[in-house]
């Protein structure tokens, strides 16, 4: 068994620190698992419904917002690349200066 493997019971605890699933009633465990799965599925269904409503209600506005954010972040990204290139260029020039100085 892997050192960091979690227990199959769904507790998210390491297998060697498990909640005691070896002694738990399998029916009780199944009921807990179904309970947990039900609420996870309910949350997913709620999220899907909200996403549909948000898309239909705010879709065009969200598209405009996404365009604005993308445009701005693209400019920031380009600036960051330019800055990184300038730093690399400076580092190369300094390295050459130091290398030339050590040769004399």
More confident residue, 87 or 22: 87
How high is the pLDDT of residue 76? Answer: 96
Q: What is the pLDDT of residues 40-68, one digit of tens each?
A: 999 999 999 999 999 999 999 999 999 99
Helices (H) and strands (E) in the chain, counts: 1, 0
Look at residue 92 and tell me whether its pLDDT is greater than 80. Answer: yes
DSSP state of 15: G
Cα separation, 104 vs 93, whole angstroms: 17
Q: What is the mean pLDDT of the chain?
A: 87
Percent of the chain with pLDDT over 70: 80
How high is the pLDDT of residue 1? Answer: 42
How high is the pLDDT of residue 16? Answer: 66
The domains of the chain are located at 15-103
């Amino acid at each position: 068994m892997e050192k960091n493997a979690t227990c199959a019971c769904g507790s998210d605890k390491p297998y060697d620190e498990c909640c005691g699933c070896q002694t738990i009633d399998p029916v009780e465990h199944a009921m807990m698992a179904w309970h947990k799965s039900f609420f996870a599925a309910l949350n997913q269904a709620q999220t899907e419904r909200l996403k549909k409503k948000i898309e239909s209600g705010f879709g065009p506005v969200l598209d405009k917002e996404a365009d604005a954010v993308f445009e701005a972040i693209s400019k920031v990204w380009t600036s960051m690349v330019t800055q990184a290139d300038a730093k690399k260029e400076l580092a190369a020039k300094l390295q050459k200066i130091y290398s030339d100085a050590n040769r004399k």
